Amino acid sequence: MWQKQRNFMGKKGYRILSLATGAANEQALGFYRHMGYLDEDVTLVKLL
Q: What is the 3-state secondary structure (H, E, C) of the chain?
A: CHHHHHHHHHHCCCCCCCCCCCCCCHHHHHHHHHCCCCCCCCCCCCCC
Average of per-residue pLDDT across 2-17 = 87
d(CA 2, CA 5): 5
What residues does each domain of the chain span?
2-34
In this predicted structure, the answer to whether residue 7 has a pLDDT above a threshold of 90 is no
Quick one: pLDDT band at residue 47, thresholds 50, 70, 90?
very high
**What pTM value is reported for the model?**
0.70
pLDDT of residue 13: 92
Average of per-residue pLDDT across 8-25 = 90
Mean pLDDT of the chain: 90
